[in-house]
Amino acid sequence: METNSMILDGASVASEIKEELKERIARLTDKGITPCLATVLVGDDPASETYVRMKGNACRRLGMESKRIQMSGETTTGQLLAVIRELNADPTVHGILLQHPVPHHIDERAAFEAIAIEKDVDGVTTLGFAQTAFGFGLYPSCTPAAILAILDAYQLPLEGKHAVVIGRSPILGKPVSLMLLNRNATVTICHSKTNGLADIVKQADIVVAAVGKPKFVQGDWIKPGAVVMDAGYNPGNVGDVDYDACLGRASAITPVPAGVGPVTIATLLKHTVDAAERASARAV
């Protein structure tokens, strides 16, 4: 059975989010406050360098401040923790992003946990995860939040739907599963050790691909009319879904690029503006 697939244009959703942010940033600027995202980059990973630059450019285009902290690959866990604590104490910094991955000798989890909850705009702390799970997290992980933002922008229903999430990372697969559950979807979480994965995916009304393998999800896995959210990004601008094979079976699908990615960055900016507004309210 073939369907006419709706392309879920993440770029347009991201543009709408940013347009709304411009007004909020202007109001903060009138109060003498510039929303500031501090990005910490350890080492010289080229992909991380690109991501940090993209986020910095996105901030500047909206009139936000981007504070970049570049640290050498020889940085110790203690040195990194000290920098994060300085940023926690800096009232001009509203959000802190530690670019993943850090060099192997650094305790990444300890570094994430050092980020103050009110500045955890990327949703990487265990406290932030727990608050998201309970349904009151202020800043859920940005890619899961982006996935829900796209579904909401296109008014795709979640309640009562069977969502299959492929992937269980602490900043994508797990939080998006809980966020969907909190929206009254029935959620199945799958991963690399799941037996009969294709048969499980075939039951899904909504498929979230977050496994980190190019073109992993095959066209014949998709139930006709299902919604496919591809959260993967692999070399060559390839997602985790075989897009061409799934196009025509899915009722709606995100492309790669210009799908979930742009909304993830817009969500990070939104969380930073949210944090700046909350900091402003506390200061009154």
**Residue ranges per structural domain of the chain:** 32-116, 141-262
- What contacts 246, CB < 8 A, 6 or more positions away? 5, 217, 218, 219, 222, 228, 253
Catalytic (active-site) positions = 55, 99, 122
- The Cα 186–Cα 206 span in angstroms is 10
Q: Does pLDDT of 92 surpass 80?
A: yes
Cis peptide before 257 (omega within 30 of 0): yes
Identical fold between 32-116 and 141-262: yes
pTM: 0.95
The CATH-assigned architecture of domain 141-262 is 3-Layer(aba) Sandwich (3.40)
For 130-159, write each residue's pLDDT tens digit.
999 999 999 999 999 999 999 999 999 999
Question: pLDDT-based confidence at 2, cuts 50/70/90?
Answer: low
Is 32-116 CATH 3.30.70.920? no
pLDDT score at 3: 63
Residues 226-239: pLDDT tens digits? 999 999 989 899 99
Inter-helix orientation angle 260-283/142-153, to 10°: 110
- At 152, list the tokens: 């909401």
